[in-house]
Amino acid sequence: MQSSVDVDFFTEYGEGNRYRIEEVIGKGSYGVVCSAYDTHTGEKVAIKKINDIFEHVSDATRILREIKLLRLLRHPDIVEIKHILLPPSRREFKDIYVVFELMESDLHQVIKANDDLTPEHYQFFLYQLLRGLKYIHTANVFHRDLKPKNILANADCKLKICDFGLARVAFNDTPTAIFWTDYVATRWYRAPELCGSFFSKYTPAIDIWSIGCIFAELLTGKPLFPGKNVVHQLDLMTDLLGTPSLEAIARVRNEKARRYLSSMRKKNPIPFSQKFPYADPRALRLLQRMLAFEAKDRPTAEEALADSYFKGLAKVEREPSAQPVTKMEFEFERRRITKEDVRELIYREILEYHPQMLKEFLEGAEPTGFMYPSAVDQFKKQFAYLEEHYGKGGTAAPPERQHASSLPRACVLYSDNKIQNTTEVTDDLSKCCIKEVGEPPIDRRTGVQAPHNVQGVAARPGKVVGSVTRYSNCGVAMTAEAEPRRGIRNPSVSAQNAASSYPRRNPSSKNEGGR
């Protein structure tokens, strides 16, 4: 039990009492993610501890890039960083604790657990992805690693794009395309120009291709191009799309890729109506545009949003655009930086969540807050204990959290504060059951309408559950006529997978994995 001195100390100077840690929901090479309760706001959050971030400058730079982009890209379809805990020392800290909004699952799990998604689901999912992508691209940012596991999901069908560690910014005074290597994106969702090193620079159309692959996976429940290697990946693409024209091949700058495509046997394209026989024809026309072999033939996110497939869903001209990211924010990308440089830059980003200390920092004053331990010190033992017991089924309280009220609970909290046993929740809410509640409400300002509610079929264990919450085109929940959202997941499955979609240190592409 904490002494009253410790409690008073953290109440006055630190953030130690703000978050009540509940359970580990993810673990990886980066560190550990715990769900927690924010006593200031009453919200459930995910706190991610990222270990030893300065062990490799490249990893630290990726973390810096991500927390900076997530601060700048504030949009309902992009995951939000709510807070970053203040480190105990400006020049010696090794770990950081990032507080995210807590999402219940990811699109990979939704696809895996639901084989009866409706046309309304498909339309609403794709609209959100393109709406978020429009915002990202108008900021001159390329995501570069869009895939189902990097799309967080809630049972109300809300999606949020995450994992910006591989993103890049293109500046207005440079060519419209951006230079980078071809192997960063996860293979199954890579555009053809990346698979073949077709060009030395690329356009935002690489993200449009990835969204097309994700949408096709939603329609069928299976990855569209699950290549075993780069050559197999190109073979699968051309099996569906046909071999590219001689004019298209001539535009490929990489000689080896050009020779390979020229030597490929002639293949005719497979009609999308044959590949996806039960899909809405309008959806297939848009999908075919997004999966054009040549980048120049793919629509922009804004053009895709204006497609007739979304007629009546929203007014595309009202979807928000972003201010372009400035050079000053990403000046570090243009030079070689040291471990000390990136530590200082990450510290500066953390101060964005501590306005008073940021003011002192900008005024050149030595921040007095560093005279006292921060919340990080209190969290260290709790995280260490939970990490040690992760997956072992232990229920003992962490050493510093002896009060019964702070123990991880084997239950799901509902929006009406009722508590239900985990087994009952899994049995009762084991699928995405969207109930019939009449005509979806429409936001009079924006004209947005979320999917019609459709009665689900028999439950199956492990399925994502819950009713649809209506959203305006800015992603604000429309609660006047919507049924209150309820706890939706089997905690042992969905939360763990949701956590895995939060920003990771090591790019999956380093292993050349399909996922």
User: 420: which strand partners?
Assistant: 412
115 is catalytic: no
**Nearest C-alpha neighbor of 109 from the set 372, 373, 496:** 496
Note whether 35 and 25 are within 8 A (CB): yes
**Nearest C-alpha neighbor of 412 from the set 373, 466, 338, 370:** 466
What's the rounded Cα separation, in Å, for the pair 506 and 510? 8
The residue assigned the tokens 């189902």 is 148
The helix (run of H) or strand (run of E) holding residue 247 is: helix 246-250
In terms of Cβ atoms closer than 10 Å to its own Cβ (0-12, 13-18, 19+), residue 439 is exposed
What's the rounded Cα separation, in Å, for the pair 126 and 114? 16
What's the rounded Cα separation, in Å, for the pair 178 and 410? 48
The helix (run of H) or strand (run of E) holding residue 412 is: strand 411-413
Note whether 128 and 218 are within 8 A (CB): no
Alpha-helical runs (H) found in 51-104: 57-72
User: 81: which strand partners?
Assistant: 100
Token pair for 411: 């239950």
Q: Which amino acid is at 266?
A: K
Question: What DSSP designation does 494 have?
Answer: I
The residue assigned the tokens 């203040």 is 86
What's the rounded Cα separation, in Å, for the pair 273 and 220? 13
Token pair for 257: 């890729």
What's the rounded Cα separation, in Å, for the pair 84 and 289? 40
Dihedral angle computed from the Cα positions of residues 312, 112, 34 and 428, in that order, rounded to the nearest 10 degrees: 80
Please identify which of the residues 59, 77, 106, 145 carries the catalytic annotation.
Answer: 145
The residue assigned the tokens 């002896």 is 402
The residue assigned the tokens 């978020």 is 132
Interaxial angle between packed helices 281-290 and 119-138, expressed in degrees from 0 to 180 and rounded to the nearest 10: 30
Question: What DSSP designation does 300 have?
Answer: P
Token pair for 297: 């033939």
* Residue 381 is labelled as binding a ligand: no
Contacts of 390 (CB under 8 A, 6+ apart): 24, 27, 32
Note whether 333 and 170 are within 8 A (CB): no
In terms of Cβ atoms closer than 10 Å to its own Cβ (0-12, 13-18, 19+), residue 117 is buried
In terms of Cβ atoms closer than 10 Å to its own Cβ (0-12, 13-18, 19+), residue 459 is middle
Show binding-site residues for ATP. Answer: 49
* Active site positions, annotated: 145
